Each structure stands twice: as C-alpha cells, then as structure tokens.
Structure 1
Amino acid sequence: MQVSLVCCQSAGAEAQIVNKEKVSSLLRQVEEGSAKLLDVRTPEEFNRGAIPGALNLDIRSEEFSEQLEHLDKDKPVILYCQSGFRSNKAAGILLSLGFTQVLDYKGGYSDWYR
C-alpha cells in the first residue's frame, strides 16, 4: 500500500508523505543518482546507523539551507529523520527553496529498522 498524503506546502508546492515501502522502491533511483535520500539528523545519529545511500545534512546546522543549494531542485528528494518531526520541517525548507519533488518519510529511521 502506497501512502500519498501531503505533509506541508509552500507557494503552491507540496511535499508527499511516503512510507517504508515507497522509500524502498526509490532506493534504486538513489543508487543511480536520479534521486537523493537525505538524512536530516545529527552526524552523531547518522553515524549510529542510516538508510543505505543516504546523505547526512543536519537540519540543525547553520549551513543546512546553503548545503541544499548544491542539490538538483528538479530531482526527487526523500527526507527522513528519527521519526518525522525534523523531516517535516526540512520538507518546508526545501519547498520554500524551489524543490519540486519533495518526499517525507514519516516513519523515519525508527520505522526503517523495525
């Protein structure tokens, strides 16, 4: 079952809430470079374990928005954190910066390894 809800909006753009099944199906695109998987947790959390292929960009870092500028705004970006709060906040930031395909994995890392 694919979840297809909206988590947040910015200037008419919406982020899509996705589940573990959808994230799993997108990992091939991440491997091929046609999508990005962003772990928005702290480096310490990331170093304790992450979803394969994820890039760690800490949402609490002062450079977070600047680091996002290096990503392709037209490619899918899948966001996750530990459980969903920080990824939801990150989704709003990406949308405000003009990213067009933002997906928020609500279960986050806690759900991934259950």
Structure 2
Amino acid sequence: MKRISLLLLAGLAAACNQQPSQPTATTAPAAAPAATTPAATAPTAAINTPAAKQLLTKPTTEVLDVRTPAEFTTGHLAQARNLNVKDDDFAQQVAKLDTSKSYVLYCRSGKRSSKAADIMYQQGFRHVVNGGGYDDLK
C-alpha cells in the first residue's frame, strides 16, 4: 500500500512540474485594434453630434433629414435632403443612395436618425453618422 501511495505521489509531482504547452498553429492571432473614424459608425448608430458637425464642413458629405415632410418644412439644414424614416419605402429609397459616400443623419432628438442609420448599415453603408437632433446641428 505504501508503494502505491508513493507511486501516486511521484506521478502527481511529475505532472505538476511539466511546462505549459505552447500554442499550436491553429491558435488565432490576436486581432488588431480596429481603426475608428468619425464616419465609420457601429450598427448601434449612437448619436455623435461633434463628428456630424465636422462632416458637415465637407462639401462631399450627404445630409439626410429623416423627419416627416411637415417637420422638414418648419426648418432644416440647407444642404439636407428629406427622407422620412417612417415611410414604408424608406429602405427602398436608401437603397438608391451611393454606399461609398459619407452621410450625416438627423431628426428631432436622434432616435429616428438612429433607426435610419441602422437600416443604412444593414444595406452596406459604412460611413453614416447619427448627428442627433436638428436643433443641435443648426
């Protein structure tokens, strides 16, 4: 019985002294940190008014007011185009836009522009910034 106990104890001691195994070739390398720019938004479409204001200074930026036409007529950014996110065909209207351009979206508070940005992201747009509310941008 002593011999078995000694053998078990010796085996445990040997197992504890082994070096950890090296990673194999199938171990995935650590991902490089993603580059972030104001125009590259995540699918969550969080409000980013400072980035939107920066993009509004560039003449190539497309501006979409996603409020209703009635809201649009009460005031809008000069370069804005009105595409009502509540329209049944909003996704079809967005599908006609150039996915390679940069877009700033806004509404009254940022909620509808967040929804619009999510729809655009699902359609392949990668340069969309939710500017939030019209009053914050004017």
TM-score class normalised by the smaller sequence: 0.7 to 0.9
Query: Letter of the aligned partner of 1:111 in structure 2?
Result: D
* Match of residue 45 from structure 1: 71
Structure 1 residues 112 and 100: alpha-carbon distance in aligned structure 2, compared to 1, 3 A threshold: closer
For residues 8-31 of structure 1, the C-alpha deviation after alignment (integer angstroms, 9 at most, x for no partner) is 52xxxx646421x443332343xx
Residue pair 1:39, 1:56 contacting (<8 A) in 2 also: yes
CA distance in 2, matches of 1:23, 1:8: 14
Unaligned runs of 5+ in 1: none
Offset of residue 51 of structure 1: 1.1
Residue from 37, 56, 63 that aligns with 1:27: 56
CA RMSD after TM alignment: 2.2
Offset of residue 112 of structure 1: 2.8
1:92 matched to 2:118? The reply is: yes
Offset of residue 63 of structure 1: 1.5
TM (norm. structure 2) is 0.64
Residue identity (%): 38
The count of residues paired between Structure 1 and Structure 2 equals 100
TM (norm. structure 1) is 0.76
Classify the secondary structure of the residue corresponding to 1:73.
coil
The structure with more strand, counted as a fraction of residues: 1
Larger Rg: 2
